[in-house]
Amino acid sequence: MRKSFRLTCGVAALVLAGCSVQVQNKTPDKFQANPDIGMYPIKATVTAGAMVSQPIYLYDVGSGQKIPLKSDPTGTHWSAMLPVHCQSSFKLQYLAIWRLQGLATKQKLFPPQPIVVKLTPPPLIQEATIDTSGAPKKGVWEGGVDYKFGTARNTQITGASIEPLGKTPADVRAAKQIRIVSTFPINAECDKSTAITLASSVRQAQAKLVIHTSLPGKMAKWSTKVTFQPKPSA
């Protein structure tokens, strides 16, 4: 009887109705990182041969843990939310488990080798305002520009500079009124705000704060427009 069953499966594998399960990944190959939520949707489709009994189980095992996916009512579309924190990418690989008409349990990895999904860093702060409504301390107004990094356990801000917003004499004069108080390098922990402290000798000034980081790509150098000005009165 066992020989007969194996023969049936062997023949069925040659046609559409068979003994196996096939999984196709439908997850995008990259996401923009979202440090606040830290969850990313993974999706796959599943097709099963006629000899496959329900239920089918599908897991993501790319991270070393078994994350279960849930199917829609048709059993074709599967999805889950995958928790990922402080990483620039994650591995994705599906483990399908099924039974052949209740007689034997089968399992298979799809694809055979994990695929890598990239997480691109979100933009850092592009504009910051430092309030100069109160009296200056020792002749200057101080304030911080906060940065948050979410694609590495630790990021290093290796240096920073103040540059004029433009080439006009007024822009150059305004930038000269602002200086950097913080010292470098600065270690920034993942998902925590890290401030660079600036000081201005005048109540109103504008400039560009340029930071350099240990991150690759666009995050290696980042510019933020900084404005020192009093808060508008209510």
> What is the per-residue pLDDT across 65-110, written as a single tens digit (0 to 9) for each?
999 999 999 999 999 999 999 999 999 999 999 999 868 999 999 9
Q: Exposure of 150 by Cβ count < 10 A (0-12 exposed, 13-18 middle, 19+ buried)?
A: buried
Using one digit for the tens of pLDDT, what is the confidence trace for 4-56? Answer: 334 345 544 443 347 899 999 999 999 999 888 899 999 999 999 999 998 99
Full 3-state SS string of 98-119: EEECCCEEEEEEEEEEEEEEEE
CATH tag, 22-120: 2.60.40.10
Span(s) in the chain for CATH 2.60.40.10? 22-120, 127-229
Q: How far are the Cα atoms of 90, 130, 137, 138, 179 from residue 201, in angstroms, in the given order? A: 47, 13, 10, 10, 9
The yes/no answer on whether domain 127-229 falls in CATH 2.60.40.10 is yes
pTM over 0.95: no
Rounded to 5 degrees, what angle do the CA atoms 165, 122, 187 make? 80
Interval 181-222: pLDDT, tens: 999 999 999 989 999 999 999 999 999 999 999 998 888 999
